Amino acid sequence: MTELENYLCGLRTFGVRPGFESTEKAISALKAKHPGLPEPKFLHIAGTNGKGSTCAFLYSILREADYKVGLFTSPHLVELRERIQINGEMIGETDFEKLALEVKDLGIELTFFEYLTVIAWLYFCERGVDYVVWETGLGGRLDATSAIIPYVTAITGIGLEHTQYLGNTIAEIAWEKAGIIRPNVPLFHTAEGEAKEVIEKEAVSLNAPCCYVKYDEGLIQPDKYFVSLPEIGIYNAQLGLLGHYQYKNAALAISIANYLNIDTISILNGIKHAVWPGRFQILRKVPLTILDCAHNAQGWQALRESLEELRPGEAWHIYFGMLAEKDPKLALNILAPIAETMSYIEPQNERKLSLKEWRENVAEIYPGDPRFAKGFLSAKEALDDIRTISEGNIIICGSCYMAGEILAILAGKVRDNSKDDPVGHR
């Protein structure tokens, strides 16, 4: 690795630092260094599951409308620079190194994620983009991405995640996610139940116009999903991303685009042409092989429902690899009922749940069950096994990092796991 890469990877030891004061300080220093630097309109997206897909839909819509659009997301799947894009192109190596050195020279102590956030902000400002689709990293209230002033905020569904940082209840986590809401800045959301109450109460307290997004689902064919929002005159928008859980994400993006006065044709084309690797991504049609980033109980449940809808009554060969901070018993309870086989892949990540630990959990719930016999110490071994299957249905899932390992191999690349987030991501 270069000296800069070594420095960047060294920042991972800081882990998560709640609060955005350091990020704000760095951005303020850059503003002073570059007076008059124009800022784009930031569309700030938070939530437990679906925020990445919502970002992908919104990004695609804005590009269809001929805007110059930035995208900041996390974690990356294969290459670190994927996180920072403009109009479909990730930041180049030269630009990344130049901006990274400029941020380093500020002399402000930043964590790994804070550092990337500041680089992204500077890149988008220097390149004069119109809008930035800006995804939170962890939570919202104390997330580094909250150092900017948003033009619009949005919150997807809320579930239990990262409880060591965000709280132990849905209400506590919703309150943290609602931390992206700003006074008088429009909020769009799809949260339900207790989370909905918390988020809308926070919006009222800040005088932020609040829109709870309503939509109608439509499934015409097993692999074609359509969503309608009659209240704003959008009908039968075909989703470019598959999976039952994408209805909410697409509807949220459409509502934001409508607020931005994006024309209907751009909205429809943007939803249809959206691309988001690793999210219910069909790798091959025969036998049907799908890759998905579902990484927590809410995600696994939504994935199962989509698989059952896609192939009613059929079982799946499940290849699964997860991080240690997630609950393997929950994964088993949710996914095992649809498994013809369930093989474990040990992720190449310092936060992995090992094959040994997985087997210990399996033995408690399904002792002696032959469906769980296979285990692999690498994604390559698992892919070799997958290629021997000639019929049936195959799903590879468990974490974003696992999806990244698979995609890297298929692209003939080597994934650098030293550039993964130390904590706080999937």
pLDDT tens column, 380-404: 999 999 999 999 999 999 998 889 9
Residues 177 and 117 in one domain: yes
Mean pLDDT throughout 143-159?
Answer: 94
Q: At what angle do helices 328-335 and 355-365 cross, to 10 degrees?
A: 60
Residue 128 belongs to a domain: yes
- Which residue among 273, 289, 317 closes a domain? 273
Task: Please list the residues that pair with 316 across neighbouring strands.
Answer: 339
Q: Number of folded domains in the chain?
A: 2
Residues 329 and 193 in one domain: no
pLDDT tens column, 326-371: 899 999 999 999 999 999 999 988 889 999 999 999 999 999 999 9
- Which residue among 209, 244, 273 closes a domain? 273
Residues 252 and 347 in one domain: no
Residue 426 belongs to a domain: no
pLDDT tens column, 21-53: 999 999 999 999 999 999 999 999 999 889 999
pLDDT tens column, 250-274: 999 999 999 999 999 999 999 999 9
- Which residue among 273, 295, 321 closes a domain? 273
Residue 425 belongs to a domain: no
Residue 145 belongs to a domain: yes
Residue 391, domain CATH? 3.90.190.20
Residues 242 and 290 in one domain: no
* Strand order from edge to edge, sheet including 152-155: 89-90, 84-86, 69-72, 131-135, 41-46, 152-155, 187-189, 210-212
Using CA atoms, how far residue 118 sits from 40, 75, 236, 279, in Å, is 14, 16, 39, 27
